[in-house]
């Protein structure tokens, strides 16, 4: 599952990085204006920066670990999953 998340995330980051560049250079501008009906200025000044910021946020999200690394402190059941001796006495 982790490999799938990383693979799809990296593909999305690549898309969100190069799509604004294509809008700014005019390569995909005819398609944008044809399909949205919006003027080219909206594409270059609104959509392209938002898409680039989304790619940066996605890359930043991958850089932050989902859970802390290393050992966790033992919970109420201890590290073995069984109740600790003091807890067993309290349960009796």
Q: How far apart are CA 91 and CA 27, in angstroms?
A: 71
List the domain boundaries for the chain: 2-54
Would you state the pLDDT for residue 76? 59
Q: What is the pLDDT of residues 10-36, one digit of tens each?
A: 999 999 999 999 999 999 999 999 999
Would you state the pLDDT for residue 63? 82
């Amino acid at each position: 599952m982790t490999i799938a998340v990383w693979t799809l995330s990296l593909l999305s980051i690549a898309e969100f990085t190069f799509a604004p560049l294509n809008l700014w250079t005019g390569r995909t501008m005819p398609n944008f204006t044809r399909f949205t009906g919006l003027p080219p200025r909206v594409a270059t000044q609104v959509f392209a920066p938002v898409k680039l910021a989304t790619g940066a946020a996605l890359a930043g999200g991958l850089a932050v670990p989902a859970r802390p690394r290393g050992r966790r402190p033992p919970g109420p059941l201890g590290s073995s999953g069984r109740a600790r001796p003091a807890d067993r006495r309290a349960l009796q």
